[in-house]
Amino acid sequence: MGDPRVLQSITALYVMVFVWTLVTYLRRRDPLLRDLVWIFAAMSMIFVLRAVRVTYAEPPWQVVSVLVIIIAGQPFLTLRLVSRLRPVSAWLLGAGAAVWIAGAVQIIFLPSSQPSRATWELTALVFALDAIAATLLAREGRKRGGAARTRLWCAAAGTLVLGAGLLLAGTQLTAAAAMWSLVLLAALIYLLAFLPPRWLRRVWSWGAAYSVMRQLLATPADASTRQIWRRYCEGTRRVIGADAVVVLLPGPDGVIVPVSDPELPLGERRYVGGVELLLTSNIAIDALAGWTNPPELAVDLARASGTRFVSAAPLTVPGGALVLLHRYRTLFADDDVDLFAELGAHAAALAERAAVLEERHRLAVIVESSSDAIISTDLDGMITSWNAGAEELYGYSVAAAVGQEFAGLLMPGHREAGRRLRDRVARGERIEEMEVEHRTAAGTPVVASLTASLISDAAGHPTGFACIARDISERRRAEAMFRGLLEASPYAIVGVTADGKIVLINAQAERLFGYHRDELLGRDVDILAPERFRATQPDQRRTYFADPQPQELGVDEPLVGVRKDGSEFPAEVSLSAIETEDGVIVSAAVRDVTERIHAQAERERLAAQAERDAAERRMQHTRRLESLGQLAGGVAHDFNNILAVIASYTELLTDTLAAPEPDQRELSAARADLAQIARATERATRLTKQLLAFGRREITQAQVVSLNHVVGDVEQMLRRTLGEHIHLITHLDRELWPVCVDPGQFEQVLLNLAVNARDAMPTGGTLSIDTGNACLDEDDVADGTGLVPGRYARVRISDTGTGMPAEVAERAFEPFFTTKPQGAGTGLGLATVYGIIAAADGHVRIYSENGIGTTITLVLPATDAEGEAEAQAAVDAPAAETAAPQETILLVEDEAALREAASRILKRAGYQVLVADGGAGALRMAEQHQDPIHLLLTDVIMPNMMGNEVAARLEALRPGIPVLYMSGYAQPVLTENGTLPPGVSIIEKPFTRSDLLERVHARLQEAAAEDSARGV
């Protein structure tokens, strides 16, 4: 070792290795290579230091110190390299750094040619660190296999030997030759660990790969493709010592299929860049270093396996890759990875074999599970295979069928044809679904669809025939059912191919279009459309066939079809596509919607009519509301005038009576005032009756009368009402039929019509009233008047006044409608007329021309009943001319003032009066009074208890007691048509003293007559 040239040569060699390591690191930028650069740099400094000392007798201590400090860092650098391969305690790395720093301090500040105790201790610590690093490397090597294991063990041995050499150098206990021998041995071992020849690395790798190859070859023949790749991953992981091994295989449509050991939660999916991004990296990918933008595939693999570093090598399978997943970086695994990637070709071959076996097994399962009869024969037609479907169809077992001639399955008359069929297939012709009649084991015929083709070997030489037979008996029945449903469909169904030819038609289509079936089959479908639409049909057909989806045509706007005779009809068409053996057929269901369109038009007409009617009702409602306002104003005006008269004359009377001794003139004036009050009361009574008659709430006392008599009775009053400027003419039919009507109400009708006529003739004119008979038939009553055919009495009232426009005449009978100025009318005149005549089952017609006059015609149904006798003469002043009555009357009235007035009138007339303010009081009084009660005089409308209820309950207490009702609104005691029930008597409010006494006396006389008739 003393030859300087030898030392310089060894130094130059290690400097070159250092440079090579540095260049490799600069090319690959692997952190492990960076650590190796520093380790080789430290080792090279040993030889550099020796060369400097040989060259210079007294080298500068600064240079020597720097070189020694670099050499002293070798244990720490080695530990740092180990920490990248496996877990290393932080305190151990800290101890290595501390030893390095302590050595540097001693070298710089305590230079000495003689070793001190501190030097020995420091050298011992360096050796201990190298020994620990060597142990960790050896343990890591035990986890590996192949070249990686041998190289890691070499690295461990080199580290331990180098530590021993540094220990000798520090203690200087032995000769320098022994120290340099250890350093040189360490360097050689390091060279063997880090830079061994390629052939040696392959030898080391093949030793481990051989065991994996044997494991793959021992895979069972029935193992699946995935199981083979799983074994490959398992062996690779065991040898290389990876935490997980994944094989990425290409799937359909760019999907990556992973197979791993251990099994990882990885799914099949696509990745941007795919496997290529993993293969382009020449170092391990740090998948958790997000700042380096690792591939998405590497990130998913690392997260699924709980690792960090991802290495990949290409497999011989196109698009496949071997991926190694580690929690730490790996050293010396490149050769093993490359070898196992090459070994993947053998795994791929085994996987391909398994795939072929799987496919064959799958096909065998498909053939065996097929419901079709699948049969193979040799070139002579002898059966060589027979599946379960064939056994089901023909009834022969496999043992009975194999070895028999296929032609024997045909009916006797078809066997020769079967042999000719075999010859056609032997010439290369393919038979597709030919219907052939076969024979079962039981001898029964069965119709089957037969498909036959030639079987050839890999060289293309024919070896036999493959036959598929399908029982089509059920299909024939289904076709018959389909044909039945097609023919029974209520819609016309037409089947059309893509070229527009009709290939299907049902009976309803024949009836709808008027063609016979043979006339349409094969014809162009455009024949069913009008000529004006045929130019656009081909483009529309091509568009639909490009995407045949169910579609409804003609829903919003009906299409037009044309029959054989040229007549057209509106139609709706439902399109749907049917997949057939001959391609797509479009089924068009055609519906004639003529009747529906007519019905729709009728519905629209009725809806429009209903809308018009509703609008008319709304308008009438609005008019009624307007008329109600007019009525309220008119009635308020009239009642205010009446109330003003009554109030004024009442004050005058009060002043007159307040005087101690009024003179004769004042008394005469008081009597005149009382007459004015009476007349105002009569006006209010007439207005109230008019309102009740309009509302059909007035008490109707119909009689059989002659309208001539009513006209005669009211004629003089009409003349006074009309005035001298209007001439009244009457023409009365002597043979006029009698009618049933309330005479007083009919007088009101004539008076209202006369007043309206007078207002229409302010400058004078003529009013004529004529009567006559009329027989109305079906045509006369067909205009919605509500009348029935029969005999009627007619009254016609005509004037020569201003007349009415048509729009006014149309509304003349509407309640509250008036054309008179504000406050001059209530709008109830003609409405009251209409109400009275309608209540008597009659009808009113109006005819008017503007500027000419108006004619109103009243018709009432004639009756055959005899007229009632004239009413008896009114009773004259009963209090003066007859003896004082002795009867007891129970008076029930809730209005205090009216109750007091009626009580005084009856008491002055001599009656005994029991007074009650309601139904409950009346009943108590009837129970407590011991003497007879001859008459119940009760109001009809009272709170808590109506008058008719009081009468009914009193009847239970005092049977047979007569009742006289009094009311201005007697609806609760009237019948539905507004008349009094038999036996019911009533006096209408307001009434006078004489009216009350007369009605009371008459009711008592009626009761007495009834008692006499009963013999009471």
Spell out the SS3 assignment of 799-821: ECCCCCCHHHHHCCCCCCCCCCC
Geometric angle at alpha carbon 130, from 127 and 134, rounded to 5°? 140
Name residue 311's amino acid: S
Q: Is residue 115 scored above 60 in pLDDT?
A: no
Q: Residue 871 — very low, low, confident or very high, per pLDDT cuts 50/70/90?
A: very low
Look up residue 83 and give its two tokens.
């920490």
If we measure between CA atoms, which residue out of 902, 890, 944, 903 comes closest to residue 920? 944
Task: Convert the pLDDT of each residue in 404-441 to its tens digit.
Answer: 888 778 777 777 777 777 788 887 788 777 777 778 88
Higher pLDDT, 135 or 253: 135
Here the CATH number for the domain that contains residue 388 is 3.30.450.20
Pairing of strands 583-592, 568-580: antiparallel
Give CA separation, 825 vs 617, 634, 816, in Å: 25, 6, 9
Close Cβ partners of 92 (under 8 Å, ≥ 6 residues apart) = 79, 129, 132
Region 111-134 average pLDDT: 69
Helices (H), 143-175: 146-171
- 935 contacts 1004 by C-beta, under 8 angstroms: yes
* CA 27/CA 36 separation, integer angstroms: 14
**Scanning the structure block, which residue is given the tokens 């006029």?**
736
Please report whether residue 546 resides in a domain.
no
CA dihedral 42, 48, 50, 53 (to 10 degrees): -130
Handedness of CA 344, 350, 353, 358 (dihedral sign): negative
Here the CATH number for the domain that contains residue 329 is 3.30.450.40
Question: Which of 279-283, 446-450, 585-589 is the most confident on average?
Answer: 585-589
Higher pLDDT, 17 or 94: 94
If we measure between CA atoms, which residue out of 129, 198, 181 comes closest to residue 159? 129
Region 965-988 average pLDDT: 66
Please report whether residue 52 resides in a domain.
yes
Q: What pLDDT was estimated at residue 868?
A: 45
- 195 contacts 65 by C-beta, under 8 angstroms: no
Question: Is there a single domain that holds both residue 709 and residue 827?
Answer: yes
Q: What pLDDT was estimated at residue 936?
A: 92
Please report whether residue 497 resides in a domain.
no
End-of-domain residue from the set 160, 195, 230:
195
Give the least confident one: 151-155, 533-537, 822-826: 822-826
Question: Is there a single domain that holds both residue 324 and residue 458?
Answer: no
Strands (E), 300-357: 309-314, 321-326
Please report whether residue 107 resides in a domain.
yes
Helix, coil or strand: residue 563: coil
End-of-domain residue from the set 846, 861, 876:
861
Q: How many residues does the chain have?
A: 1016
- Cut 0.75: pTM above it: no
Please report whether residue 45 resides in a domain.
yes
Radius of gyration of the chain (CA): 65
* CA 417/CA 127 separation, integer angstroms: 98
End-of-domain residue from the set 427, 459, 476:
476
- What distance, in Å, lies between the first and last C-alpha atoms of the chain? 175
* CA 916/CA 911 separation, integer angstroms: 16
Q: Is residue 126 scored above 70 in pLDDT?
A: yes
Q: What pLDDT was estimated at residue 879?
A: 39
* Domain, as residue range, for 737: 701-861
Task: Convert the pLDDT of each residue in 476-488 to its tens digit.
Answer: 777 778 777 777 7
Helices (H), 556-593: none
* CA 976/CA 843 separation, integer angstroms: 19
- 680 contacts 642 by C-beta, under 8 angstroms: yes
Look up residue 106 and give its two tokens.
């001693």
Element spanning 17, H or E:
helix 4-28
- 900 contacts 908 by C-beta, under 8 angstroms: no
Question: Is there a single domain that holds both residue 339 and residue 269?
Answer: yes
Please report whether residue 516 resides in a domain.
no
Q: What pLDDT was estimated at residue 566?
A: 87
Name residue 414's amino acid: H
Helices (H), 695-805: 707-722, 743-760
Question: Is there a single domain that holds both residue 713 and residue 854?
Answer: yes
Q: How many domains would you assign to the chain?
A: 5
Give the least confident one: 192-196, 618-622, 784-788, 973-977: 973-977
Region 117-121 average pLDDT: 63
Question: Is there a single domain that holds both residue 79 and residue 145?
Answer: yes
Helices (H), 31-116: 31-55, 61-72, 74-85, 90-109
Contacts 24+ apart (CB under 8 A), 527-534: 528/494, 528/561, 528/562, 529/560, 529/561, 529/562, 530/560, 530/562, 530/568, 533/560
Question: Is there a single domain that holds both residue 957 and residue 920?
Answer: yes
Question: Is there a single domain that holds both residue 173 and residue 65?
Answer: yes
Task: Convert the pLDDT of each residue in 34-55 to its tens digit.
Answer: 777 777 777 667 666 766 666 6
* CA 457/CA 286 separation, integer angstroms: 53
Question: Is there a single domain that holds both residue 829 and residue 951?
Answer: no
Q: How many CB atoms lie within 10 A of CB 532?
A: 8
Q: Is residue 547 scored above 90 in pLDDT?
A: no
Q: Is residue 239 scored above 70 in pLDDT?
A: yes
Region 647-657 average pLDDT: 78
Q: How many CB atoms lie within 10 A of CB 300?
A: 18
* CA 180/CA 90 separation, integer angstroms: 32
CA dihedral 713, 716, 717, 723 (to 10 degrees): 160
Please report whether residue 871 resides in a domain.
no
Q: Residue 877 — very low, low, confident or very high, per pLDDT cuts 50/70/90?
A: very low
Question: Which of 461-465, 604-608, 782-786 is the most confident on average?
Answer: 604-608
Question: Is there a single domain that holds both residue 122 and residue 44?
Answer: yes
Question: Is there a single domain that holds both residue 841 and residue 942?
Answer: no
Pairing of strands 492-496, 583-592: antiparallel
Q: Is residue 631 scored above 50 in pLDDT?
A: yes
Pairing of strands 765-776, 726-731: parallel
CA dihedral 579, 580, 584, 586 (to 10 degrees): -80
Here the CATH number for the domain that contains residue 931 is 3.40.50.2300
Average pLDDT, the chain: 78
Here the CATH number for the domain that contains residue 803 is 3.30.565.10
Please report whether residue 50 resides in a domain.
yes
If we measure between CA atoms, which residue out of 831, 836, 763, 762 comes closest to residue 795? 836
Percent of the chain topping pLDDT 90? 5
DSSP string, 670-696: HHHHHHHHHHHHHHHHHHHHHHHHHTT
Q: Is residue 716 scored above 90 in pLDDT?
A: no
- 912 contacts 889 by C-beta, under 8 angstroms: yes
Helix, coil or strand: residue 119: helix
Region 887-891 average pLDDT: 92
Question: Is there a single domain that holds both residue 176 and residue 254?
Answer: no
**Scanning the structure block, which residue is given the tokens 């389909």?**
482
* CA 835/CA 832 separation, integer angstroms: 5
Region 277-302 average pLDDT: 81
If we measure between CA atoms, which residue out of 225, 231, 230, 277 comes closest to residue 251? 225
- 309 contacts 32 by C-beta, under 8 angstroms: no
Pairing of strands 963-967, 935-939: parallel
Question: Is there a single domain that holds both residue 84 and residue 110?
Answer: yes
Give the least confident one: 117-131, 523-537, 800-814: 117-131
